[in-house]
């Protein structure tokens, strides 16, 4: 079964990076559970 595809923004990446956020683990789960689409503008 294929993973569902979702578009994420910078907030998900930042909150997954820093453990200080209370929803850190939730964002880690998002990044690992879905097929991520990252808009090019998020890189900039």
Nearest to 41 by CA among 8, 1, 17, 18: 8
> Model confidence over 25-35: pLDDT tens digits?
999 999 999 99
Q: Identify the three-state secondary structure at position 31.
A: helix
In a domain, 15, yes or no: yes
Range of the domain at 14: 5-38
Tokens standing for residue 38:
């990252």
Domain count, the chain: 1
In a domain, 44, yes or no: no
Q: Does the predicted TM-score (pTM) go above 0.85?
A: no
What's the rounded Cα separation, in Å, for the pair 19 and 15? 7
In a domain, 43, yes or no: no
pLDDT band at residue 14, thresholds of 50, 70 and 90?
very high
Alpha carbon distance, N-terminus to C-terminus of the chain: 33
């Amino acid at each position: 079964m294929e993973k569902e595809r979702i578009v994420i923004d910078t907030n998900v990446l930042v909150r997954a990076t820093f453990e200080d956020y209370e929803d850190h683990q939730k964002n880690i789960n998002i990044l690992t559970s879905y097929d991520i689409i990252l808009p090019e503008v998020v890189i900039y």
